[in-house]
Copies of this chain bind each other. A is one copy, B any other.
Amino acid sequence: MADERFFTRTGPYTLRQLAAIGGAALGAEADADRELHDVAPLESAGPHDLGFLDNPRYLRALADSRVGACVLRPGHADRAPPGMALLLSRQPYRSYALMAQAFYPTPPVQPEIHPTAVVDASAQIGPDCEVGPGAVIAALAEVGARCRIGANAVIGRAVRLGADCMIGAGTVVSHCLMGDRVILHPGVRVGQDGFGFAPDRERHVKVPQIGRVIIEDDVEIGANSTVDRGAGPDTVIGRGSQIDNLVHIGHNVRLGRGCILAGQVGISGSTQLGDYAVVGGQAGFAGHLRIGVGATIAAKSGVTKDVPEGETWGGFPAVPIREFRRQSALLLRAGRGKGSIDD
């Protein structure tokens, strides 16, 4: 059970309610009126808990579990112990996530502008916003309804936030237009100058960075990540993209919809990622590349060329993943002292 100091649980919910929330079907043995009180991992769950099985690696945990009900794929139903209540879904993790959101909803915004917040008279704050202590909202900024601006966050001049955005404590945003339901975790930096200058031994000459950052709806950006504004064109983070902590996004970069970037990824200026691209941790991209729709980049890769749609690449310089696997196999054999690469 989650620590009550930090989390507020709702419920209980009947299996019928949970099935509806998560888009799941009740299994044959499930009593639709049975109430569950919490979520828990299969190993530690008790008869009042909801659990889930997605990765088949955990089938053994399923067999031994005392969970009250389990969300799983129809194809795994026969692996559950007799009598276990099942909630059947083709996307069990997604269904479980929706049910878990019901038990642990995002804490409601507490509409208040804290008296120590500094909100410029020309800024427009929508209804029911929560603006924390020491937060600063500069001139001409527009904040949509029900936004939460964390303590000591800074929203720069003329920045626009849509509705239901959550800006973490200490986060700084400038030169940015943001959609609805955007989450910026603590310490995110959006909108500062890109790394643009004409190199010169006497003195590097800064090139004015006159683009913006456009963050579309439902984007989430992790703690201490940085998104530079465009040099002339805009930097764009496409709808629903998920960005982890300590990620660096250079000027003019464009992410499509639903991209996923793991921690400490770096994207150099003007590179574009197509919709649904997925990038593993600590990968880096040279500038001016085109990464295709649905491409996957392995962790720690260094991408120096365009990557076609739907392909998976890895290594440095990054190559199609089957080539990277052969490269790794060569190195692994060499490491074990085994003959030549012709083996």
Report yes or no: A232 in contact with B40, Cβ–Cβ below 8 A: yes
A195 CB to nearest B CB, Å? 5
The interface residues of chain B lying within 8 Å CB-to-CB of A228 are 223, 245
A189 closest partner in B (C-beta) = B223
Which candidate, A11-19, A79-87, A200-208, is the interface stretch facing chain B?
Answer: A200-208
Per the bound structure, the CA–CA distance linking A281 and B286 in Å amounts to 9
Report yes or no: B136 in contact with A154, Cβ–Cβ below 8 A: no
In the complex where A134-B152, A136-B133 touch, is A222 in contact with B242 (Cβ < 8 A)? no
Which residues 304-343 of A sit at the B interface, judged by CB distance below 8 A? Answer: 315-317, 319, 322-324, 326-328, 330-332, 334-337, 339-342
The interface residues of chain B lying within 8 Å CB-to-CB of A242 are 195, 197, 204
Report yes or no: B94 in contact with A205, Cβ–Cβ below 8 A: yes
Report yes or no: B97 in contact with A244, Cβ–Cβ below 8 A: no
Candidates B151, B185, B282, B315; contact of A193 at CB < 8 Å? B185
Per the bound structure, the CA–CA distance linking A168 and B260 in Å amounts to 29
A91 contacts B by Cβ under 8 Å: yes
The interface residues of chain B lying within 8 Å CB-to-CB of A264 are 248, 264, 266, 284
The interface residues of chain B lying within 8 Å CB-to-CB of A157 are 5-6
Report yes or no: B319 in contact with A327, Cβ–Cβ below 8 A: no
Report the contact-size class of chain A (Cβ under 8 Å from the partner).
35 or more
The interface residues of chain B lying within 8 Å CB-to-CB of A94 are 198, 200, 205
Report yes or no: A170 in contact with B170, Cβ–Cβ below 8 A: yes
Per the bound structure, the CA–CA distance linking A188 and B264 in Å amounts to 15
Candidates B168, B175, B222; contact of A195 at CB < 8 Å? B222
A61 contacts B by Cβ under 8 Å: no
Per the bound structure, the CA–CA distance linking A317 and B2 in Å amounts to 36
A263 contacts B by Cβ under 8 Å: yes
A72 CB to nearest B CB, Å? 14
List 18 A–B pairs whose Cβ atoms lie within 8 Å, in order of A's numbering: A5-B157, A6-B174, A93-B198, A96-B207, A97-B197, A97-B198, A100-B208, A103-B208, A114-B118, A154-B186, A170-B172, A186-B192, A195-B242, A201-B258, A248-B264, A263-B268, A266-B282, A315-B331
Which residues 215-231 of A sit at the B interface, judged by CB distance below 8 A? Answer: 218, 220, 222-224, 226, 228
Report yes or no: B340 in contact with A334, Cβ–Cβ below 8 A: no
A238 contacts B by Cβ under 8 Å: no
Interface residues of chain A, those whose CB is within 8 Å of chain B, are 2-3, 5-7, 39-41, 91, 93-94, 96-98, 100-101, 103-104, 114, 116, 118, 132-134, 136, 138, 140, 150-152, 154, 156-158, 168-170, 172, 174-175, 183, 185-187, 189, 192-193, 195, 197-201, 203-208, 210-212, 218, 220, 222-224, 226, 228, 232-233, 240, 242, 244-246, 248, 250, 258, 260, 262-264, 266, 268, 276, 281-282, 284, 286, 299-300, 302, 315-317, 319, 322-324, 326-328, 330-332, 334-337, 339-342
Report yes or no: B192 in contact with A223, Cβ–Cβ below 8 A: yes
The interface residues of chain B lying within 8 Å CB-to-CB of A186 are 154, 172, 174, 189, 192
Per the bound structure, the CA–CA distance linking A175 and B104 in Å amounts to 15
Candidates B200, B286, B335; contact of A319 at CB < 8 Å? B335
Report yes or no: B244 in contact with A246, Cβ–Cβ below 8 A: no
Report yes or no: B175 in contact with A6, Cβ–Cβ below 8 A: yes
